[in-house]
Chain A
Amino acid sequence: MLDSTDAVVAVASLSRRFGSKAALNDVSLHVPRGCVFGLVGENGAGKTTLIKHILGFLRAAAGQVRVFGLDPVSDPVSVLGRIGYLSEQPDLPDWMRVQEFMRFTEAFYPKWDARYAEQLREQFGLDPSARLRILSKGQRAKLGLLAAQAHRPELLLLDEPSSGLDPIVRRDILEAVIRTVSDEGRTVFFSSHLLEEIERVSDHIAMLHQGRLVLCGPLEQIKAQHRRVTICFDAQLYEPPRVPGALAVTGTGREWTVFCNATQIQLPDIGARIVSEDDASLSDIFVATVAGNR
């Protein structure tokens, strides 16, 4: 279990309904200090709703949210000042120029590091005199990332940062994640449906499915628990075999692939043998878990 005393974000039994739809259903998680915490889930799984609660944009209807041990709704100044936030579509004042926007944002953050901001601007190749209106989607994301990072936040919170961006901007974003976590004690929480990205940089992950947390823990542990086992039968099967403990079974004829928790693998007693056993990628685990929870 994670040590909740050193949790940057602590969410306990959080539920939220929008009309008749349960957006979040009894979600509890801890984000340990100094980790990269990846939040995955299908579109509409509740990722953004969860992030809005962490930012204090939504008040917990049931359950509790604490960020740095504080309530983000009642204490927004102390919480938001220590968070760097980038949303999927950063809301930027289009009429400003890049330089003006940087000075404008600086005013909100006492800890803004102007030299670092300038360094990032150059690295991202942003023209200081360009109007935000004319920036491309990638340049807007980079500027949003600059604004989220330049005050060296204790918690960098990214909501679907790479969505719809080209590989070069995505790399800039991931590098920012790595740089943040390399600095002692700083934490990153980010959501994405690009599972390869999550698998690259995260050390903890949580998986939301229809508002419920279906997986949560250290990535290494989750990967160690899941195996992709290919089994072969003597006779052709016309429907998937029942395998105790399997999350998902796919295949045809004699050969079937079983996704399972490694600790629970038990072959059906109808003449099956294991052909191969592989590590499952996060993407395999995601698909199998979601299929198993339908």
Chain B
Amino acid sequence: MVPRLNPASGVPLYLQLIEQVKHAIETGAIRAGEQLPSVRQMAENLVINPNTVARAYRELEHEGIIELKHGSGAFIRESIVPRAKLMQKAQTVVRSALDQLESFDLSEDEIRRLLENELASRRKSKKRRKAYA
């Protein structure tokens, strides 16, 4: 996998790397049991600080996506496969929703804005619920 990071976006680089590893698993670019480049190799490939890569790998391990084997590297967990299947299933849901929205004659930008606004407001109400709890 060849992740592409964009420091200008403001999103922390380790989060960008995590997203791209997940994306690569969902698209099948890397598969269960396969190995990610070592921290050092990934840092040199991407020209980013090794601590940033290590941080991303630790979070991925915490989320159960990869397994860090001491001295031998980072491996994609087998248990991630059902997750990938779920994502494929979700993709068909997204596709049919998009078909419907397009029939309303909405542009791509409008659809993206709708989705992002919806996600943001859900995030906010979740935060609020947490604050009251």
- Contact of B48 (CB < 8 Å), options: A35, A201, A278: A201
CA distance A228 to B11 in the complex (A): 11
Interface positions of B from 21 to 55, Cβ below 8 Å from A: 40, 43-44, 47-52
Q: What 1/0 flags go to B50-85 for Cβ under 8 Å of A?
A: 111000000000000000000000000000000000
Residue of B at shortest CB range from A196? B7
Contact B50 A279 (CB under 8 A): no
Interface check B120, CB cutoff 8 A: yes
Q: A181-B50, A201-B49 are in contact. Are A281 and B44 (CB under 8 A)?
A: no
Q: What 1/0 flags go to A176-216 for Cβ under 8 Å of B?
A: 00110110000000000000110111110000000000000
Contact A171 B47 (CB under 8 A): yes
Contact B44 A182 (CB under 8 A): yes
Q: Majority SS of interface residues in chain B?
A: helix
Contact B10 A284 (CB under 8 A): yes
Q: What 1/0 flags go to B77-110 for Cβ under 8 Å of A?
A: 0000000000000000000000000000000000
Interface positions of B from 8 to 27, Cβ below 8 Å from A: 8-13
- Contact of B12 (CB < 8 Å), options: A36, A197, A279: A279
- Contact of B44 (CB < 8 Å), options: A175, A202, A220, A228: A175
CA distance A185 to B124 in the complex (A): 42
Which A residues are in CB contact (< 8 Å) with B43? 178, 182
Contact B10 A278 (CB under 8 A): yes
Contact A199 B13 (CB under 8 A): yes
Count the B residues whose beta carbon is within 8 Å of the partner chain — how many?
A: 18
Contact A281 B48 (CB under 8 A): no
Which A residues are in CB contact (< 8 Å) with B47? 171, 174-175, 178, 200-201
A to B contact number (C-beta, < 8 Å): 54
CA distance A278 to B116 in the complex (A): 13
Which B residues are in CB contact (< 8 Å) with A179? 44
Contact A228 B10 (CB under 8 A): yes
Interface check A276, CB cutoff 8 A: yes
- Contact of B49 (CB < 8 Å), options: A203, A228, A282, A284: A203
Q: A201-B47, A203-B51, A281-B7 are in contact. Are A182 and B12 (CB under 8 A)?
A: no
CB proximity of B97 to chain A, nearest CB, Å: 23
Which B residues are in CB contact (< 8 Å) with A196? 7-8
CA distance A282 to B6 in the complex (A): 12
Contact A281 B10 (CB under 8 A): yes
Interface check A283, CB cutoff 8 A: yes
Contact A181 B49 (CB under 8 A): yes
CA distance A281 to B12 in the complex (A): 8
CA distance A280 to B51 in the complex (A): 20
Interface check A223, CB cutoff 8 A: yes
Which B residues are in CB contact (< 8 Å) with A203? 49, 51-52
Which B residues are in CB contact (< 8 Å) with A223? 12
CA distance A220 to B120 in the complex (A): 23
- What are 20 inter-chain pairs, A to B, with CB distance below 8 A? A35-B51, A178-B43, A178-B49, A179-B44, A181-B49, A182-B50, A196-B8, A197-B7, A199-B13, A200-B7, A200-B13, A200-B47, A203-B49, A220-B12, A223-B12, A279-B10, A279-B11, A280-B10, A282-B7, A284-B10
Task: Kindly list 12 other residue pairs between chains A and B, CB separation below 8 angstroms, not including A196-B7, A197-B7.
Answer: A35-B51, A178-B50, A179-B44, A200-B49, A203-B51, A203-B52, A220-B12, A228-B10, A278-B10, A279-B9, A279-B11, A279-B12
What is the interface of chain B, defined by CB distance below 8 A to chain A? 5, 7-13, 40, 43-44, 47-52, 120
Nearest first, the 6 A-B pairs at minimum CB distance are A281-B10, A279-B10, A199-B7, A196-B7, A174-B47, A182-B40
